[in-house]
Amino acid sequence: MNPIHAPFPLSRSRRLRRTPWMRDLVRETALGVSDLIWPIFIREGEGIREPVASLPGVDRLSIDNAAIAAEEAATLGIPVIALFPYTDPAKKTPDAAEAWNMENLVNRATRAIKAKVPDIGIMLDVALDPYNSDGHDGIVRDGIILNDETLMALEKQTLAQAESGADILGPSDMMDGRIGIMRQALESHDFADVAIMSYSAKYASAFYGPFRDAVGANGALKGDKKTYQMDFGNTDEALREVAKDLSEGADMVMVKPGMPYLDVCQRVKSEFGVPTFAYQVSGEYAMICAAGQNGWIDQDAAMLESLGAFKRAGCDGILTYFANRTARILLNEDL
């Protein structure tokens, strides 16, 4: 594109910035409530709202309170909630068998929420780290994360979550071949309508710490995840990962983390033209909150600017812990 402008003073860029309504009129990208996915942490118990110290304003919720949050999301027009479990350490094992237990926390929560708020979309994480005593996304043997053995576990987890009523499955494990295994399992067990949003470009990042606190994985993790999550220096590799996942049956793709990887978001959307999402991860959220609480930035303004950046980069939607607050601001509701 080679825009042509008349010379100054015939052309004055500030004419289109003069008033709020004029800026709204010519804005190239806009953030809406329907762009938001709200991640929610759940835990055992009843009537529980347990603050996560490293995520200001975020609580672990018992299933009954998670259902109330789902009602709030539906009322605000947030289309999807994503559930993440805080698993009892006693249920974590080397084979991560709790991942496909039909009575595990996320599966019970999914059924309870669907019974109360049937029209809310529910997204579940397909990975073993909440259930693995080693804290890894795959099965570990002699310090090695085993790819193909993990695929068999992920297949069982996929079917348990689909049976429980999940609408979207989000494989975040970064094992090779998992999308094909999941898609084939869903098709062969009459779950053809369950969508897959693949964490296609998930980087080994320093921004995940508060999330690991929230799901209780920090203490369990042995070593790091660099043998399966991506190196932050690579972008061509991200395109290869996305292409592979699409060829195996992914419906949507995700880049994670978010703001440090806007270039990757833009490349993915431009190259493939498929529904593209980003996860504004816990470290990004915590930094904005901490700076806001200290009076160093305007938290709400920074929040909206950061989310607008995802849309500008080409994302169709964003997973963000700011989802409910953002929705209220966009809808001009009292906070």
Task: Given the residues 91, 92, 225, 256, select the one marked as catalytic.
Answer: 256
Catalytic residue list contains 311:
no
Which residue matches tokens 């993990």?
150
Q: State the Cα–Cα distance between residues 258 and 51, nearest whole angstrom.
A: 24
Which ranges of the chain does DSSP label H, i.e. alpha helix?
Answer: 20-26, 63-76, 105-116, 147-164, 178-188, 209-215, 236-248, 262-272, 282-293, 299-312, 323-330
Neighbours of 60 (CB within 10 A): 24
Catalytic residue list contains 116:
no
Phi/psi at 49 (5° precision): -130, 105
Torsion of CA 57, 195, 74, 81, to 10 degrees: -10
Task: Given the residues 202, 225, 269, 311, select the one marked as catalytic.
Answer: 202
Structure tokens at 47: 């009537």
DSSP code for 279: E
* CA dihedral sign, ordered 199, 277, 328, 168: negative
Residues annotated as part of the active site = 202, 256
